[in-house]
Every structure is written in C-alpha cells, then in structure tokens.
Structure 1
Amino acid sequence: MTAKYYSLPHECVTYTHNDTVSFLEQTLYHTEAPILNAHCIAKYRLSQFAREKNFVVALTGEGSDEILLGYVSFRLDMILELRSQGMEGSVKADTFLERIQRNELSNVLLGSMPKTTPRVRGIPSWQAWHFHRLKKMCHELKAPGSTADIISDSLDEFASEVPAGLSSVRLAQVDWIRYVF
C-alpha cells in the first residue's frame, strides 16, 4: 500500500528456513553479539537485498507483532492479564498457553523453526547468555550518578506512587525493569 500510495516499485525478498541456516553466521558476525531472535537473520537478508538494489530506504513488513502477539513478552503479558481477571480469565489464559505449547500459535522464541530446522536449536541459549550479560552490565552501571542509577531511582519513585488502576501486568513490568537496573 505504501509503494502504491507513493507510486514506487514494490519489491519482495523471499526467505526460507534454509536461508536462516545459511545466513546465521554472517548475521552473527555483523551484529557483533549473539542475537535474541531469528528475525535478525531476515533483516540481514533484507539489508543485502537493499544494498544490491542501491535502495536508500526499505520498509519491512514488521509492525504486526504488537497485535498478533509475536513477541514473547506480549504473549506472557496476555496470560498474566487474563489470570488477573478471575476464574473466567484464568480459563482463557490456560487455553491460550495450551495453544502456544501445541504450536497452534507460533511457539515461544523461534516458532516451528526448531522442528523444521534442527541446526538452529542453539539460539535459545544465546538468549539466556544475553539476559545474564545484561544483568552483569547493569550491575556494573549502578555506580552512584550513572545513567542506570538515575533510571533506577526514577523507577523506585514511580513504584512508590503507583497510579490507581495500573494493571498487575504493568506493575510486573516495572518490577522487572527495576530488577534489571
């Protein structure tokens, strides 16, 4: 729609599970850190395509994760939110969780990719590595007067004056961020 609106050519890049494996090493090299999600590999492929075509701007098809619960945190937030709504909400949350586990919804982190592309099964361990690295870095940044120290103080102040009606999910997110900082 955007290309049509601006009377620009619309070009697509095809991407397969085999591309995931073939571009994995190059993507890791260019990101200079373990990746958290396999979508980085698709973005690497899109960047290659854009460079080959001498494009200055490229729009991706992303942006639907928020409404389709593509991010792990959105799925977990929905489950927590439903559970906070009493018995009926808990039943819905259990059903939703079962659908995730049966892979009816894309499974947490990599979707069905580990089943169809066993060679990328190590990616979740990179996520764990990144999480522990982040905790260590944040600990080192907690020196008095550092940015993290200021953020931490602000979050403490926010948590002590919780706005009325803030959902338990949002409170949990604030606690999580406070824990990291």
Structure 2
Amino acid sequence: MNSEHEVQTLGGCRVDGVPVRYGRALELVAVLVLSHGTAPRDWLLSTLFEGDPAPSSLPTLALRARKLGLDVRYDRDRRFYHLEGRVRCDVAELLSRLEEGRLKEALELYRGPFLTKSHSPFAAQTRDHVDQRIVRAAIDSGDVALMEAADRIVKHPELSQELVRRGGDQISASLGRSWLMGLETAM
C-alpha cells in the first residue's frame, strides 16, 4: 500500500478530512505514528486500555482502522502492531514543529485537545504532553505575542505568570487564572 493518509486527532476525529466514528481506532493509529510506525502488543494494551482489556480489543481497533483505509497489521512472530503505508497525524506534526522550535506553526496546527472523548492512559498523557510542550515552548521563546497566542489555547498558571511578568495582557492572564481556580474548586 503506497497511499498516504492524513489523520486528525486534535479537535476532531477525521481521516483525509472525513469525520469518523471510530476515535479509538484513530487512537491506535496515533500511538503507532508517534512510535515510528510500530509498537509491541503488550505495551499497546497497557497504553490504550485501563484494567484488563478483552483479547479482541486490539484486533478490533486494527480492523476498524483498516476499514478507514489505515492499514494496521499484527506480526504474530514479533508480537508487534505496525502501520503499512504513510500516515500523517496532526498531533505528531504539532509535536515535531515544537521539537524544531517552530512554535507559531505548531499553534496553527492546534485544533483543540487530543482525542477529547478518550480517557485512555495514552490519550490523557498525550493531551497533557502537548499542553506542557506548548507552555514550555512559549515561555522559552520569550516572545510575548507567541505567549499570548499559546495562552489562548492552553490555560496554564506558569504561562499566565510569565505573560504578566513580561508585560503581556493582564486581563487575559487574569481570566486564565480565574478560570483555572474555578476549575480546581469544581473538582
């Protein structure tokens, strides 16, 4: 299979621009993309599922991914799942831009939190990792405009503090802190 597919996991589940129902299948694809196309079965089970998943859990996700045109295969001898063909995934591209120091481009790719309906360990960790990387990159940039752009996406106390310290929009940062405090009291 030589085709290339685009997978959107930030702010919605889409393959090649078409909305899909199987967000969990895209989660498997995303973890494989972020793992350079291959990952051990047992690690995937603990990463994608809490507790003791049914033996059919991963094969079902792989089948659903294949129905979407994303060729996920299992190698029984090595006990690995792998992607066939090229798959571009927005979360991987966003993290790559951040790694390359291209914060402005990364912020343009951001369309919302990673797979918001998923509560798997992988989804929760990825959402947190993306937020932390955006915050760190924004602060490290020293660019108030980029910090303000990041603050509109990710409300984080460290980012708000740094933004105010550097003379950024105190009202936005204050609203961010108020929002965070309200969220903490609600929990």
Please, what TM-score do these two structures have when normalized by structure 1? Answer: 0.32
Please, what TM-score do these two structures have when normalized by structure 2? Answer: 0.31
Answer 1 or 2: which has greater strand percent: 2
Answer 1 or 2: which has greater helix percent: 1
Task: Pick the structure with greater CA Rg.
Answer: 1
